[in-house]
Amino acid sequence: MRRRVERYVRFSVSTPEELLKKFDETISGLGLERSKAIRMAMERFLTENSLKADRKIFGNINIVYNHEVREADSRLTDIQHHYLDIIVSTLHFHISKETCMLVITVRGENERIKSLLSSISSIRGVEDVKSCFFTEV
């Protein structure tokens, strides 16, 4: 079986000096070369922003919320039951007396997962939602 040889293209990028300095410090600490780190960032950007509706994706949704806000817990639970077809697992842990984190692992159609994200983001008490998705091959 032959490996596919990718052709690389050089291009120029303009960015604020301080941003580049922080970027270089970070990738140096990770042992990455700048070109590889930029490729990784581009791939992540494409995955997160141009997922096709007909593609299956998988990943995690990370939710930080205030459980003392009325009905935040029960609404999050109700939403999870509504999306059982795409939820693989969940993990709940306590950050402080008021703050909890919920990690939901999902797998399914892009549009269905976007709908879940939208439902979660609309809940009063949800302070932050971050996600990381990959396209199934």
Q: What are the structural domain ranges in the chain?
A: 17-49, 56-135
pLDDT at 3 over 80: no
Condensed to tens digits (0 to 9), the pLDDT of residues 36-68 reads 999 988 887 776 666 556 778 899 999 999 999
Determine phi and psi for 90, rounding to 5 degrees: -135, 155
Judged against a pLDDT cut of 70, whether residue 113 lies above it is answered with yes
Compute the radius of gyration of the chain from its Cα atoms. 19
Helix runs in the chain, H state only = 17-30, 34-49, 72-82, 110-121
Nearest to 132 by CA among 54, 65, 49, 31: 49
The count of other CB atoms within 10 Å of the CB of residue 123 is 19
Give the span between the Cα atoms of 62 and 83, in whole angstroms: 16
Question: How many other C-beta atoms can be found within 10 angstroms of the C-beta atom of residue 110?
Answer: 16
The pLDDT tens digits of the residues spanning 58-98 come to 999 999 999 999 999 999 999 999 999 999 999 999 999 99
The CATH number of 56-135 is which of 3.30.70.1150, 3.30.479.10, 3.90.1010.10, 3.40.640.10? Answer: 3.30.70.1150
Q: What are phi and psi of 11, to 5 degrees?
A: -150, 165
pTM exceeds cut of 0.75:
no
Which amino acid belongs to residue 123? I
pLDDT value of residue 55:
75
Residue with tokens 């990784």: 40
Burial group, residue 62, by CB count within 10 angstroms (0-12, 13-18, 19+): middle
Please report the pLDDT score of residue 49 as a whole number. Answer: 63
C-alpha to C-alpha distance for 60 and 136, rounded to whole angstroms: 14
Q: What pLDDT sits at residue 98?
A: 95
> What is the arithmetic mean of pLDDT over 8-20?
92
Give me the mean pLDDT over the 121-129 stretch: 95
